[in-house]
Homo-oligomer: A and B are copies of this chain.
Amino acid sequence: MRVMGVDPGLTRCGISLVDGGLGRSVTALDVDVVRTPPDMPLAQRLLRISDAAEHWMDTHGPDVIAIERVFSQNNVRTAMGTAQAGGVIALAAARRGIEVCFHTPSEVKAAVTGSGSADKAQVTGMITRILGLQQAPKPADAADALALAICHCWRAPMIARMAEAERRAAEQQRQFKARLATARRDGAGRTANSGRKETR
């Protein structure tokens, strides 16, 4: 499974490409950070980020795009820009029929380090070891993009199992409701019939 990991951002947007093999084997294929100047109009910044992400998608043909899910950050303005950068990349994936999956920062940290509250240094250290890199990936956005992709490789089987379980549960509920409706209709029919008998 080829996963494109995205650590979204307007000023720095980390993009990585990781191949997930059997079990927990993962191979980093590429990683880069797309930058846009803060004094550029927002629409132009989004266009530059989208163009870069689309170039990666068309060149490498990932099976899935794993994007960090943005929550409120201390700086609301930054959080909005981050959400928008992730949004335009999700849109580009949807246009190509590529699956998009969002992971929260704590899901990523937990998957990679075993702790949902690990700091940046711990995440970078684990990424360097997991991928067997000579040097720690820099800047932090590059490491985060790799962590996102690895997190998806490792969580994907579990997510698929949960989706399958939810699908089955929904199917069972549908069948149960259908049987209940049939039973009620039959019951109502009998009551109506018995009612009619009494009034005769």
Contact across chains for B71 and A41 when beta carbons are under 8 A apart: no
A47 an interface residue at 8 Å Cβ cutoff?
Answer: yes
Give, as a whole number of angstroms, the nearest-CB distance from A155 to chain B: 17
**Residues of B close to A41: CB separation below 8 A:** 100
Give the contact-size bracket for chain A.
20 to 34
A34 an interface residue at 8 Å Cβ cutoff?
Answer: no
**Residues of B close to A88: CB separation below 8 A:** 87-88, 91
**Residues of B close to A95: CB separation below 8 A:** 47
A interface SS class: helix
Contact across chains for A47 and B84 when beta carbons are under 8 A apart: no
Give, as a whole number of angstroms, the nearest-CB distance from A173 to chain B: 15
* Chain A residues numbered 54-87 whose CB sits less than 8 Å from any CB in chain B: 70-72, 76, 79-80, 83-87
Contact across chains for B42 and A100 when beta carbons are under 8 A apart: yes
Give, as a whole number of angstroms, the nearest-CB distance from A36 to chain B: 12
A102→B84 CA distance, assembly (Å): 14
Contact across chains for B84 and A87 when beta carbons are under 8 A apart: yes
Instruction: Kindly supply a per-residue 1/0 record for chain A positions 31-50, scoring 1 wherever the CB is within 8 Å of any chain B CB and 0 otherwise.
Output: 00000000001111011001
Contact across chains for A80 and B76 when beta carbons are under 8 A apart: no
Give, as a whole number of angstroms, the nearest-CB distance from A180 to chain B: 23
Contact across chains for A76 and B72 when beta carbons are under 8 A apart: yes
Contact across chains for B71 and A76 when beta carbons are under 8 A apart: yes
A6 an interface residue at 8 Å Cβ cutoff?
Answer: no
A90 an interface residue at 8 Å Cβ cutoff?
Answer: yes
A90→B87 CA distance, assembly (Å): 11
* Chain A residues numbered 87-141 whose CB sits less than 8 Å from any CB in chain B: 87-88, 90-91, 93-95, 100, 102
Nearest 4 interchain pairs by C-beta: A84-B87, A43-B94, A43-B90, A47-B94
Can you list 9 A-B pairs with a CB-CB distance of less than 8 A? A41-B100, A43-B93, A46-B94, A72-B76, A79-B80, A83-B83, A83-B87, A85-B87, A91-B91
